[in-house]
């Protein structure tokens, strides 16, 4: 609103001054409220920025939770692999215990004898329950599967004689007879 328009409307100078004063008050009031409006506008911008940040955080958390599911799946996969490895290690330990015990007892075909022993259970202390007695029973049932020293007692009173000539070494007959003679004399 300006003074020229008010003159065109036929208002007197006093009336124009009165209108302009009232208009000035209104404008001043709007300017004072305009500070509030600017403040509200600034708050609005701040809230918009906060909402944008919240949306970004929510998106990030959603991605993180997806990663948590993926991380949990990875952990579960490794737990499964760990259990399989522990089971495999226990099985290998059991096989080694059986094989060593069979070798120490003179077993010839360790794999076959282990098969004949069947599936044995590994105990928590890392041993196999009653393995020595199981091997002893196997020796009685299958004496031909175990090496025996010359003159060693076998079941049923039989004797196993080692008839190999010096385990494949090249020795003359005279040396062999000399050894036999020395053994007979206890030398």
Per-residue pLDDT tens listing for the chain (187 residues): 677 877 877 778 888 888 888 888 777 766 665 565 566 677 777 777 777 777 777 777 777 766 677 777 877 888 888 888 888 888 888 888 888 888 888 888 888 888 888 888 888 887 888 888 888 888 888 888 888 655 455 566 666 565 555 555 565 667 777 778 788 887 7
Pair 140, 155: CB distance under 8 Å: yes
Residue 170 lies in a domain: no
How many domains, in total, are found in the chain?
A: 1
Does this model's pTM top 0.75?
A: no
Residue of 104, 84, 98 whose CA lies nearest to 126:
98
pLDDT of residue 149: 57
Residue 186 lies in a domain: no
Residue 74 lies in a domain: yes
Residue 119 lies in a domain: no
What angle is formed at CA 154 by the lines to CA 149 and CA 157, rounded to 5 degrees? 130
pLDDT of residue 151: 47
Residue 137 lies in a domain: no
Residue 66 lies in a domain: yes
Measured between alpha carbons, how far is residue 121 from residues 101, 104, 127, 131 in Å?
15, 20, 9, 10
> Using CA atoms, how far apart are residues 97 and 125, in angstroms rounded to an integer?
13
Residue 34: give the domain boundaries.
3-80
Residue 44 lies in a domain: yes
Query: How many H-runs (helices) and E-runs (strands) does the chain carry?
Result: 5, 2
What would the two tokens of residue 139 be?
Answer: 């020796």
What does 147-167 look like in DSSP terms, one character per residue? ---TTEE-GGG-EE----SGG
Residue 57 lies in a domain: yes
Pair 145, 109: CB distance under 8 Å: yes
């Amino acid at each position: 609103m300006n003074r020229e328009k008010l003159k065109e409307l036929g208002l007197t100078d006093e009336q124009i001054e009165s209108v302009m004063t009232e208009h000035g008050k209104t404008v001043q009031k709007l300017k004072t409220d305009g500070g509030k409006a600017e403040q509200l506008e600034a708050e609005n911008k701040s809230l918009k920025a906060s909402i944008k940040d919240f949306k970004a955080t929510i998106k990030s958390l959603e991605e993180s939770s997806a990663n948590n599911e993926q991380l949990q799946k990875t952990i579960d996969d490794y737990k499964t692999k760990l259990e399989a490895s522990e089971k495999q290690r226990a099985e290998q330990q059991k096989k080694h215990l059986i094989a060593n015990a069979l070798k120490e007892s003179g077993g010839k075909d360790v794999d076959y004898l282990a098969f004949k022993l069947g599936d044995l259970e590994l105990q928590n202390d890392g041993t196999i329950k009653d393995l020595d007695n199981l091997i002893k029973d196997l020796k009685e049932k299958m004496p031909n599967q175990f090496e025996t020293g010359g003159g060693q007692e076998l079941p049923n009173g039989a004797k196993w004689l080692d008839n190999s000539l010096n385990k494949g070494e090249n020795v003359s007959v005279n040396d062999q007879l000399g050894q036999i003679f020395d053994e007979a004399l206890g030398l």
